[in-house]
Amino acid sequence: MSLRFGYGTNGFANHRLADALDVLAELGYTGVALTLDHAHLDPYAVDVKDQVARTARLLAERELAVVVETGARYLLDPRRKHAPTFLHEDAPRRVDFLKRAVDIAAELNAEAVSFWAGVRPAHVSADVAWQLLAEGCAEVVAYAAERGVAPGFEPEPGMLVETLADWQRLRGLVGEQLKLTLDIGHCRANEPVTVEECVRIAGPHLVNVQIDDMRRGVHEHLEFGTGEIDFPPVLRALADTGYTGLVAVELPRHSHAAPEVAARSLTFLRAAQWLGDALDKLARDPAAIATLLPAARRGVGRAAAEDARVRLLHAAAPGAAAAAELYRYGDNDEKRAVLLACPAPDLVRDALRSNDTRLVAAALGPGARDLPAAEWRQGVLKSVFMGLPLSGVDGLAERADTELGRMLAALRHEREAAGRTMPADAVELLERLH
């Protein structure tokens, strides 16, 4: 099942809303997570009804689905971030805001409206805070039911409800109509189980998903590939839950480069979904590697293709005969992946006889460990002759010996006689061996 990717408008804070929607539609996103704020559909504006009608028209014209987000920092109070919340003395202002958000969501035919608890003030006890939260949420959830809007409550690190377990406790107090917004990054930051397990737990209750990368113990929304989350199995787990709502990128601190970040994000997510589906297919049918390996570049793009091929081969774990077949009939990109993932001495020898620098470099990786010393030395010498960096030769520090030094000295003499020089790293190795 193909997931539907969206992008949060809080990551386009420097764009007009119409311009942001244009960029996202042109890139190929299928929806947006619309954060109600001063610049993007202010629910307190005098002309809010006109803004809502215009936004509905913009979304329809661009065929973009929408969820409504309510995490604006200073919309309700210019001096206190995110205040007031359910837990403050002036909590009715938060409830009023959320009801306005529900009304807007209903007019936009939004798939959900998302909200959170807030940080517990120091003077409010935990018991009182939970009571205030449950009462406020119950009022919002009841109002959302009247308007036919799905209420997605988001566990947020540092707030009163920050984990799935906390959300389950709140749901027990509010009722089963309270649904869930899940931020994938938060699962890595502060949940006690794996991200995939979080997704499986959350699946039956999801009405909204936010996605970003994070590191353990740090609540910082990161671009994909710069945190610690392994996204292919996470996206596969999300698809397996049957979730059909938006999966919206949540990068609120990246507005300075919004179009570029949004483009990179969609490319990454599409590639991760393809790889997750491919890995799932291999788990059921390892022989599918024969068709998936050639399809990797098309599936994940050129830049990520080699890593994807290697990962697919590790997952398929082909035997020696199957690996040899993949190598024999594959193009040089596929041959290189086999050398990196499941090398065998015969395949390494074949690669070292080639004139493709990428194959020679791969052959001198870990797969060369089983080569006899004489063959390994010839491989290193060929690497120097081709101008490949010696840093890529596996085990060089341990295996380099005086005989290799003699061979390098002879090559150096030959080159100098022809008016050519040796690569600096080869000269350094030669000097160390003599």
pLDDT in tens, 314-363: 999 999 999 999 999 999 999 999 999 999 999 999 999 999 999 999 99
CB 383, CB 361: distance < 8 Å = yes
* Spatial distance between the Cα atoms of 199 and 179, rounded to a whole number of angstroms: 14
Taking only the tens place, the pLDDT of each residue in 187-230 is 999 999 999 999 999 999 999 999 999 999 999 999 999 999 99
In a 13 Å sphere around the CA of 86, the CA atoms on its Cβ side amount to 25
Angle 195-202/164-174 helices, nearest 10 degrees? 10
The CA-atom distances, in angstroms, between 275 and each of 100, 293, 299, 304, 310 are 41, 11, 7, 10, 11
Instruction: State the Cα–Cα distance between residues 89 and 143, nearest whole angstrom.
Output: 21
| Cα distance between residue 249 and residue 264, in whole Å | 11
pLDDT (0 to 100) of residue 1 = 65
CB 3 within 8 A of CB 273: yes
CB neighbourhood size of 378 (10 A)? 15
Query: Given pLDDT bands bounded at 50, 70 and 90, which one contains residue 434?
Result: confident
Phi, psi (deg, nearest 5) at residue 34? -90, 110
pLDDT in tens, 157-190: 999 999 999 999 999 999 999 999 999 999 999 9
Amino acid at 205: H
**Cα(166)–Cα(401) distance, integer angstroms:** 62
Q: Are strands 218-222 and 213-215 parallel, antiparallel or unpaired?
A: antiparallel
Residue 228 corresponds to which amino acid? E
Cβ neighbors of 57 (< 8 A, separation 6 or more) are none
**How many CB atoms neighbour CB 406 within 10 A?**
14
Per-residue model confidence as pLDDT tens digits over 71-110: 999 999 999 999 999 999 999 999 999 999 999 999 999 9
